[in-house]
Each structure stands twice: as structure tokens, then as C-alpha cells.
Amino acid sequence: MSDCVFCKIAAGEIPANKVYEDDTVLAFRDLDPQAPVHVLLIPKAHIASVAEITPENSGVVAHIFEVAAQIAKELGLENGFRIVNNCGEDGMQSVQHLHFHLLGGKKMGWPPFPAQS
């Protein structure tokens, strides 16, 4: 996707603070961290969102979670962490390239959203 910022990061056209990279997955620090550790994990191939995951492309999602577990260990998140995905308009997804937020280094709150009637 030529206008996708995460495709550009995956292609090396935009710089990112990378913490992990292989042939299919990239992990890099979020520009606007919401926790002491805030890493984004993406497939290098463009998938727009969780809503676009299919039997044909879901293998990379399993791999992303393997990488997340590895990164969490490497970044010292032995006490736990949170993985977040925002999907679509109601999910407040702002970048239309599948990504998972790995957040840690502090005690999280729950529920993660304000109560509404």
C-alpha cells in the first residue's frame, strides 16, 4: 500500500526505532508511548485490520504473538504486560495496517475505557 505509513516503515522508507525484525514481522517503539514500554508489532505484508484476518493470512498473527512473548522477556516485562488491538472506527484504529500494541512497565487499569450509559 503506497500511502500506508506502516508499509513505509516495513520497507525502510520511514525511520523507526526497531526492536525486532525478521522476514515477516517488524516491531518498533510507538512514537507516542502510553506506558514505559510501548512497542508496535506489525506484519510486513499489508493487512488492514483484525477484520481482514483470514485462514490464508493468519499464520503471521501467530508469529507476531511468538515475537511479542520474546520481546516482552527481552524488555524485562516479567511481571506482565498488555497486548492491545484497535480495530475499525469504533475501536479507534488510527493506522489502517494491522498492529498490536505491546504495553508494559507499569500496573495497568481495567476496564481500559470510561464507563458509558
What is the gyration radius of the CA atoms in the chain, in angstroms? Answer: 14
Q: Is 38 a catalytic residue?
A: no
Site for ligand AMP in 21-40 (CB under 6 A): 30-32, 40
Residue in 4, 48, 82, 86 binding ligand AMP, rule: CB under 6 A: 86
Cβ atoms 16, 28 nearer than 8 A:
yes
User: Which one, 72 or 93, has the nearer CB to ligand AMP?
Assistant: 93
CA distance 36 to 88: 26
CB of 2 to ligand AMP, least distance (A): 16
Strand locations in the chain, DSSP E?
Answer: 18-21, 25-29, 37-43, 81-84, 100-104
Active site residues: 99
User: Which residues form the interface with ligand AMP (CB under 6 A)?
Assistant: 5, 14, 16, 30-32, 40, 86, 92-95
